[in-house]
Amino acid sequence: MKCLLVSLQSNACVTGLKCIAANVRDKGHDARILLLPGYLELELDPAVEGFIREYNPDLIGISLMSIEFYPARNLTRLLREKFQAPIIWGGVHVTVKPDECLKYADYICLGEGETVIVSLLEHLLHKGKEVLPEIPGIWVNCRGEIIKQPDNPPEMDLDILPFQEYLPDYYYGLHKNSIYNFARTPKLFRKYAIYGGTCHMMLTTRGCPFTCGYCANSYLVKVFGKKIRERSVESCINELKGVKKDPYVLYINFEDDCFFAHNREWLEKFCEKYKRHINLPFIVRAIPTMLDREKLFMLKDAGLCVVVMGIQTGSDHVNFEIYKRRVPFATVMKAAGLLVESKVAPYYEMIVDNPYETEEDEMESIKQMSRLPRPYTISLAHLTFFPGTLLTERALEEKIVDPEAYLTRYMVKIDTTYFNKLLYMTPYIPRFLIKPLNKPKAKRSVVHVMLTDSLFFFVKRTIEPAVFFFVLTRGLKYNFNWTLRTVLGNWKSGLAKILFNFLGKSDMEFDERLAIARKKMPDLFK
C-alpha cells in the first residue's frame, strides 16, 4: 500500500511526518512526503497532479498546525476533484478541534499517527475504503455521518519506533511549478529548511511537565497523559549516527519541551556516548525551574551551545494568575545566571500582545528582563488563543478575542507597540536608557516615542545581530569556522527577520499568500 503524507507548513522541518513515514515503510508499506508550503492556489498545480497520479497513493495524509487549517481545506477540495484516494487529516490542530476538521476530511487521526496510519493502510488493503474502519484514534466522516472511535493510547515504548532520517530519499517538494526530490537536490531542501538545513530536529521525549493556561499542551495531556515518555540513550545515539553521515548537519536541535526533564543517570550516559560517537554542537530547551547546574555543565562539556528558555513574562502576577505558570521570576534570574556562567548562548522566549496585561505588567516585565545578566538574545511571540486552553475559554467567555484569529496569524507576527519595541531592546541597550523610557502612555512625550523608534531601528539591524554572533561564537567555544558556517547556512532567514518585523522569509511568503487568498477565495474562509 502507498501513503502520501503532505505538509503545508512554511518550512521543511517535518519531524512528525518523517516519523510516521519511517514507521509505514518499516511495516512493509510505501510512503512519500510532499512539502506544499501554504498551498492556497485556485487550481491544483499540474506538477502536483502529475506527481500524485504517477505515485497513485492508496491514502493521502495531510498534517496541519492551526495556521495551516485553510490551506488544508483548500488542498483537500482540489485533491477530491482529481483523485479517489481517501484523505486523512492529522496533527495538533486536528487533535484539538476534531469535529471541525472532520467536516472536510474522510478520516481524522487524533493523537500520535505512527501506528494509526499503518492500521488504516492494513484496513484499506484487506477490507477496502467502503468498509468503515474501527481503529482507535480514527474518526470517520461517512457521507456526513460522524463515527467516533475511542482514543488511541500513546506509545509508551518509544524505542520500538524506527528512526527518522535527516533527509530521506522519499521526501519531495514543490518549487516553481516543479516537484523535486530533496535528497537529490539538497540545496533546494536547504532553501526551505529552518536554519538553512544546518540542524537535525529531534525528540528524545514526548510530553511536557507543565500545563500552562495558554499552551496547547494543557489540552493534549487529555490525550497523551501527563507522563513524560523518553527514548533510551541507545535509541537516540543510533539515530544520530545515521544523521552525522550527512556533512551539512552542523547541529542537533533537540525539540523536547524541557531536555532537563531527563534524570542525571540518563544524561550522564547520553553525554558520554554523545561525545564519543557524535561530537556535534547541540541545542536544547529548558524550563527555568528545572534547569540544574550539574546537568547544565555536564551537557556543556558534551557540546551544548544554545539553551532556549521560555520566560513568557517578567511579571509574577501574569505568570501565576493569567498563565497559570508557577515560575517566579526569581527562578528565571537564577537560571539565567547559570547560563551566563556556563557560557552557552541563552535565547529567551517571551509572550506579548496579551490583552490581560496592564501597562504596569508590561513595565514590570521590561524592568525584570533588563536585570538579567548579559549577554543574551530574545524572541517575542504574539499571545495566541489556541482552542481548548484555560486562557482561551476565559477570553471567549469574556468576548475579548476573535475565536478564529489563531487560524490566520503567526505567533511571531507581533504588534509593533511601544512596549514591545522596548522589551525587544532590553538585552542590547544600556540599562540607564531603559529606565527613563519605561513609562506608561500618559507620561510619554514625543521624545520618548521618537527615541524608542530610532533605537529599535538601529538595534534590530546592528546590535542584535552582533550580540547573537558573539553569544553563538562563545557557545561554540570561539570556533570561528563553525560560527561562520552557521551564519552562512541561515543568513537568508536572519536577513528576512531583520527587514520584515519578526517573520522569516518563508513565513513572510506564506503570510502574503494567506492575505491574497482571503480576497480571491472568500468562501474558503467562511
User: What pLDDT, in 10s, does the model give residues 443-453?
Assistant: 999 999 999 99
Distances (CA, A) of 152 to 228, 440, 471: 17, 51, 44
Task: Using the predicted structure, report yes or no on whether residue 201 has a pLDDT greater than 60.
Answer: yes
Rounded distance, CA 378 to CA 348, Å?
5
Single-letter residue type at 442:
A
pLDDT on residue 494: 53
**What is the pLDDT, as a whole number, of residue 144?**
75
CATH domain 2-159 topology: Rossmann fold (3.40.50)
d(C-alpha 284, C-alpha 33), whole Å: 27
Please write the tens of the pLDDT for every residue from 35-93.
Answer: 999 899 999 999 999 999 999 999 999 999 999 999 999 999 999 999 999 999 999 99
Q: Which residues contact 37 (CB under 8 A, 6 or more apart)?
A: 8, 9, 10, 11, 174, 192, 506, 509, 510
pLDDT band for position 499 (cuts 50, 70, 90): very low
498 has a pLDDT exceeding 70: no
pLDDT at 490 over 70: no
pLDDT at residue 503 is higher than 70: no
Region 294-313: mean pLDDT is 96
Q: Which amino acid is at 99?
A: D
User: Nearest Cα to 330, choosing from 285, 288, 378?
Assistant: 288
Which residues are within 8 A (CB) of 338 and not within 5 positions of it... i.e. 6 or more apart? 291, 293, 296
Q: Regarding predicted confidence, which is higher, 388 or 162? A: 162
**Is the model's pLDDT at 497 over the cut of 60?**
no
Kindly list the domain boundaries of the chain, sorted by start residue: 2-159, 193-512
Computed over every residue of the chain, the mean pLDDT equals: 91
Q: Which helix (H) or strand (E) holds 349?
A: strand 345-352
**Could you identify the residue written with the cell 484499506?**
124
Q: At what angle do helices 446-458 and 418-425 cross, to 10 degrees?
A: 50
Structural element, H or E, at residue 202: strand 199-202
Give the residue-averaged pLDDT of 94-121. Answer: 94
CATH architecture of the domain with residue range 193-512 = Alpha-Beta Horseshoe (3.80)
- Side chain identity, residue 509: E
Q: Cβ neighbours of residue 157 under 8 Å, at least 6 residues apart?
A: none
